[in-house]
Amino acid sequence: MSVDYIVQLEDISKFFGSVIALNGVTLRLRRGEVHCLLGDNGAGKSTLIKTLAGVHPPDKGEYLVDGRRIHFKSPRDALDLGIATVYQDLALVPLMSVARNFFMGREPRRKLIGPFQVMDHELAGRTAIAKLAEMGIKVRDASQVVGTMSGGERQCLAIARAIHFGARALILDEPTAALGVRQSVNVLKLINRAREKGISVLFITHNVNHAYPVGDTFTLLNRGKSLGTFAKGDVTKDEVLDMMAGGAEMQALMADVAGMTI
């Protein structure tokens, strides 16, 4: 194969009873690219994420990592291969500090006396601040409670955490959905930084305005089917928007709302 893919879904289908959630979807994430997965609500984005994350095994089709076929039994298997998913709920605890959140479940420890080990708060705090700074987020106090941070900062914290713990491919589930304009820009910058570090990013969104500036490649999903994958040079933002919303269908809808554009 001439092109180097880190994660590939080949002709994947997923059924829930009689519902066809995914119908022959192909998605190839190239090494070091930002790949945007665009789709409106109900397009099958969530199912696709969960398939990638190892939550749902696909009913049909192949899942390849580094060109090898794999069968994930649990999300842990995906993590072990460096495929990290940052869900919308971010898996952060608001009442805990930045450092405690950053290392939640993977606390660094040091020996105290004999067999007794304690959590190395000093190392945790230092590492968390350094890793966040690398991502362009300045946190002065690692004991700051996450609940005091803005939505954008929390998103960035979750992404920085995933990267620190060895993510090679980062799956971001609507990271800008709940954010304001300025905070969204910060998250988009962070996505760029991740790419600079050589990390492949699958950026899931329904907002073309967010996807277009950072994306290298776009895959459009509609009603469980892929409408195709396009390189940035081959497609304009308006074309993407058109396809995503179902083109003609959307035109008709928008005619009802006079003067509306998205």
Residues that bind other proteins (CB under 8 A): 75-76, 87, 89-96, 100, 103-107, 109, 117-119, 121, 137-141, 144-145, 147-148, 153, 181-182, 184-186, 188-189, 192-193, 195-196, 208-210, 212-214, 237
CA terminus-to-terminus distance, the chain? 39
Q: Rounded to whole angstroms, how far apart are CA atoms 77 and 214?
A: 29
Q: Are strands 169-173 and 83-86 parallel, antiparallel or unpaired?
A: parallel
Output 196 or 256, the one with its CB closest to other proteins. Answer: 196
Strand partners, 19: 16
| CB of residue 41 to other proteins, shortest distance in Å | 20
Q: Rounded to whole angstroms, how far apart are CA atoms 161 and 128?
A: 8
Q: DSSP readout, 61-103?
A: EEEEETTEE---SSHHHHHHTTEEEE-TTTT--TTSBHHHHHT
| CB of residue 135 to other proteins, shortest distance in Å | 11
| CB of residue 230 to other proteins, shortest distance in Å | 16
| CB of residue 129 to other proteins, shortest distance in Å | 11
Tokens 């969960």 sit on residue:
50
Q: Rounded to whole angstroms, how far apart are CA atoms 262 and 253?
A: 12
Strands (DSSP E) along the chain, which ranges? 5-16, 19-30, 34-39, 60-65, 68-69, 83-86, 109-111, 117-119, 169-173, 200-205, 217-222, 225-231
Output 105 or 114, the one with its CB closest to other proteins. Answer: 105
Output 3 or 95, the one with its CB closest to other proteins. Answer: 95
| CB of residue 62 to other proteins, shortest distance in Å | 26
Output 64 or 254, the one with its CB closest to other proteins. Answer: 254
Output 92 or 243, the one with its CB closest to other proteins. Answer: 92
| CB of residue 262 to other proteins, shortest distance in Å | 10
Output 152 or 224, the one with its CB closest to other proteins. Answer: 152
